[in-house]
Structure 1
Amino acid sequence: MKDWITATGGRQEADYRVTFDTPDAPRLALDTTVMTPLAHLGVLDVEGPDAESFLQGQTSAQVSLADGNLAPLTCFCTPKGRMLANAQLMRVGPAHYRLIMHTSLVTPLAEHLKKFAPFYKVELHERDDLALLGLIGHEAAALAEVRFDALPSGPWHQAGNDELQVLAHPGPRPRLLVCLPDGRAEADWHWLKEHATPVDNSVWRLQDIQAGLAWLDADQRDTYLPQMINWEALGGISFKKGCYTGQEVVARAHFRGQVKKRLMRGQLDGDTLPEPGSAIEDAEGKRLGEVLHAELDAYGQVEILAVMSTKEPAEPLSLEGQHLKLLKQPYPIERVDPESMAAKD
């Protein structure tokens, strides 16, 4: 656990969870501005003269679009198109790119990419010396602008410099992710605490669920095609770029309409958090899919993200004895080209 998190009164528990003695944290996020350490996320840097060409051959993003303004989603796949990691890609400086993903995937992805690195002038760095903070609420933008002198133009964009970056994420409330050196995290936290309430990082994870955004962890790697977590609907796949590992399978699944499972949102009628991988069953007891993430919402009910069959299910649906109601996704399930996102800038 990072020292600065302990110094702020946070406690890190299993599954990369950080908790604070703040009651009704999810409800606070509905009406006020809150902040949280994003201990479940980690950073991998790719640096060197060949960094762009190296990443271009490995990732689903059109790397040139990560220009210091747009910070697109991306993923890394096996030759069979299964994701080894999904991430957000940003450019920190010339020949310096940064990937943000679930912290349990930083080392496995680095080890995978190092197999190809000897053919390029590039270095990989697992950045344990960086802190990630989350701001949620209508005052988040003002706080970032005053404290960090950086404010992104919209979701999946970045602002800042080579030392500190601020990223805007989608969600039911305005959200900003701040990436900064560990050495200044405690001071920044105490300043922000005068204007925002510390909450568990489960609040940020809940907003990811409500945004229909799944960050895979190490137990889920090499399992899903990108489309199974709606990655093309979030602009996380460029179908206009050249080859990358797994590209042929990913493109075939898209153009032939062969995706039989999709990421879906749901709500349980109880307050028991299911474990990732827990089975979702239809009225006949047939397995339809499995849970990726689950968190308690502001009303004490469990909200989930699950990968499920796209076939019309035989209702009622259940999950470990709890009734499951499917919820509408906050975006249409259709292809969004990241090139079109860059064209709007």
Structure 2
Amino acid sequence: MSAFYAPLNHETLLQIHGPDAQTFLQGQTTCDVRQVNPQAAKPGAYCNPKGRMWADFLLFSLGSERYGLRLRADIADTTRDTFAKYIMFSKAEIEQDPAWQVLACWGPDSASALLTLCGALPDQQYGCVSGEGFCLVQIDRQGQQFELYVNSSIGEDLLQSLASSLNQAPAEQWQLLQIEAGIGRIENSTVASFLPQVLNYDLLSYINFKKGCYTGQEVVARLHYRGKSKRRLYIAKSNNNVPAKAGTEINADQGTQACGTVVNALAAPDGGSIMLVSVAENALDKSLRLMGESDVLSVSPPPYPLEKDA
């Protein structure tokens, strides 16, 4: 069976709950929280007043007046603490329950295996199905990539069934799929570094430009309606077997001025490394290198149209 799973220990969940949870999140994040329900999740971002992102996340429902945010574990504390500065004015609370695990499932046969385990499947990208102690979200359009969130305190049977039904694989295989899909992530070293458009989030439904005000909205909307992002997210490959750190600068034609930044990077299975890079559009016809290195990067567009504010 071509179906795989991996625990994603580099990911975690924050939970926001209470009578004002929806209103609070609606005023803080780029996605329309009103569209999140037991059948639909939404990707989004949390920005500072200058429009720079504290975090990217996937937001989903965990029941009445309760939401889960899946985000990278290395930015969870910063994100929680920043939310906490404002949530005190709302009838809502934020917490991190270590009992919840984040797992990835993928492969041509993953859907049929998960149907048996969960009893139902999402029917579209970011669609959800849930049950006692779990939530399953479809990540891609084709229905071959899923994330499964399980409360291990009550979902131990599901975790055991998953391990016996799918083949365990390294989490790096899942991360490689996300890089190849052109989905950039905020890491600890790039917190408050990027505008959402720089990571193509306006092209990937992370931003709802009609939802109204949220923190950073003025800057993000101005770029959408009155300007154009000078940088976009691309896929790059290097012959260096040691992946560059997120935040590493990129130069053009061995110049001293940075024209781009490494967003995420991973060792490639066939040697070298593969990465997502935010690069100035006017530098794409030049020889791009990681700052201080001689190897020229091979840069290609992500597998979706790079249209202005699509």
**TM-score (norm. length: structure 1):** 0.83
Q: Are 1:57 and 2:30 an aligned pair?
A: no
CA RMSD of aligned residues (A): 2.1
Mapped contact 2:111–2:143 kept (Cα < 8 A): no
- The answer to whether residue 6 in structure 2 is matched with residue 36 in structure 1 is yes
> What letter matches 1:82 in structure 2?
R
Q: How does 1:25-174 map to 2 (within 5 A)?
A: 32-161=2-131, 163-170=133-140, 174=144
Counterparts of 1:232 and 1:282, CA distance in 2: 26
Counterpart of 2:274 in structure 1 is 303
What is the CA-CA distance between 1:182 and the residue it aligns to?
2.1
Query: How many Å separate the matches in 1 of 2:265 and 2:205?
Result: 24
Structure 2 counterpart of 1:327, from 286, 300, 305 = 300
Q: What SS is found at the alignment partner of 1:54?
A: helix
Alpha-carbon distance between aligned partners in 1 of 2:203 and 2:138, rounded to the nearest angstrom: 18
- Classify the secondary structure of the residue corresponding to 1:94: coil
Contact 1:171 1:207 in 2 (8 A): no
Deviations 1:130-154 (A, max 9, x none): 0111111011111211112231112
- Specify whether residues 285 and 184 from structure 1 end up closer, same or farther in structure 2 by C-alpha distance, changes over 3 A only: farther
1:114-144 deviation line (CA, Å, top 9, x unaligned): 1222221111111211011111101111121
Match of residue 225 from structure 1 = 195
Structure 2 distance, partners of 1:164, 1:197, is 20
Matched position secondary structure for 2:62? strand
Q: 1:295 is matched by which residue type in structure 2?
A: L
Q: Which amino acid aligns with 1:252?
A: R
Which range is displaced more, 150-159 or 245-254? 150-159
TM-superposed CA distance for 1:55, in Å, is 0.9
Partner Cα separation in structure 2 for residue 231 and residue 193 of structure 1: 33
Contact 2:18 2:66 in 1 (8 A): yes
Task: Tell me if structure 2 keeps the 8 A contact 1:137–1:173.
Answer: no
Is 1:273 paired with 2:247?
Answer: no
1:316 alignment partner in structure 2: 287
Amino acid at match of 2:151: P
Counterpart of 2:124, as a letter, is G
Pairing 1:235–2:205 present: yes
Please, which of 200, 223, 245 is the counterpart of residue 215 of structure 2? 245
Deviation, structure 1 residue 184:
5.6
- Following TM superposition, by how much is the alpha carbon of 1:195 offset from its aligned partner in structure 2, in angstroms? 3.5
TM-superposed deviation, 1:322: 2.4
Gap regions ≥5 residues in structure 2: none
1:232-281 residue CA offsets vs partner (Å, 9 max, x unmatched): 11100010011111100000011122421121111223433222222322
Q: Output the CA distance in 2 between the equivalents of 1:186 and 1:38.
A: 17
Q: What percentage of aligned pairs have identical amino acids?
A: 28
Deviation, structure 1 residue 157? 1.6
CA deviation after TM superposition for structure 1 residue 218, in Å: 2.0
Point out where structure 1 has 5 or more consecutive residues left out of the alignment: 1-30, 338-345
SS in 2 for 1:194: helix
